[in-house]
Amino acid sequence: MTSSSAESGAAGERVSTSSACPPSEQMPAAPPARPRTVVVVWLRDLMISLGISAFIIIFLYQPVKVEGTSMMPLLEDQERIFVNKFVYRLEPIERGDIVVFRYPYDPSKSYIKRVIAMAGDHIRIDSGQVYVNNDALIETYVPAEYVDRRSYPDTIVPEGDYFVLGDHRSMSDDSRRFGPVNQSFIYGKAVFGYWPMEKVGRVK
């Protein structure tokens, strides 16, 4: 009888241990998060975000500010755009692309123009009308008020070079003056405008 009562008591103790134990014997509650831990986590997330941003800016996209009016009306002075610096590792430069390149006479400066002709093309301009391989270009991106009447002699674009022009022909310093641009000077393609807000969208 004594043995039976003891077993019953022991069983009761096992069942009630988690709920009826004196406060001094209960498991301690988890300590609150320390401010230092929160700061460490915040700094870690910040460094990861900065690292990703740096990778995108250095290797993929670069924000640039347009200075000047040579690409109006497509791009205005002080407009902000993103330049894709990786795209030409995956695909070739094509006619009509808006490219950013180092200015041949001063590589510390960057210019932005439209590709009009590529290596092997015959390019000439007669009183403002552009011809590529004897075909007159229909340039809807050049408004009538931006056309000029300058001419350029028939030229074959050398291997690895591109003939570039600004859309604002009467205000553009381009291949009509400094000649075709070598591909080694071209480092990106204008792809997206992000400021001002009314100009947000794809550059084309």
- Mean per-residue pLDDT, 105-124: 97
186 is a domain residue: yes
147 is a domain residue: yes
Task: Please report, for the domain that includes residue 99, its CATH number.
Answer: 2.10.109.10
Query: Hey, which residues are catalytic here?
Result: 70, 113
pLDDT over threshold 60, residue 9:
no
User: So what's the pLDDT on residue 5?
Assistant: 40
Give the pLDDT confidence of 130-145 residue by residue, as tens digits: 999 999 999 999 999 9
16 is a domain residue: no
User: So what's the pLDDT on residue 167?
Assistant: 97
pTM: 0.73
46 is a domain residue: no
49 is a domain residue: no
Domain that holds residue 115: 63-202
Q: How confident is the model at residue 81 (pLDDT cuts 50, 70, 90)?
A: very high
104 is a domain residue: yes
Q: How confident is the model at residue 181 (pLDDT cuts 50, 70, 90)?
A: very high
**Vertex 105: Cα angle to 99 and 106 (nearest 5):** 80
DSSP string, 17-63: HHHHS-GGGSPPPPPPPPHHHHHHHHHHHHHHHHHHHHHIIIIIEEE
36 is a domain residue: no
The residue type of 55 is F
Number of domains present in the structure of the chain: 1
177 is a domain residue: yes
pLDDT over threshold 60, residue 99:
yes
Longest dimension (CA), the chain: 122
Give the pLDDT confidence of 163-174 residue by residue, as tens digits: 999 999 999 999
User: So what's the pLDDT on residue 42?
Assistant: 83
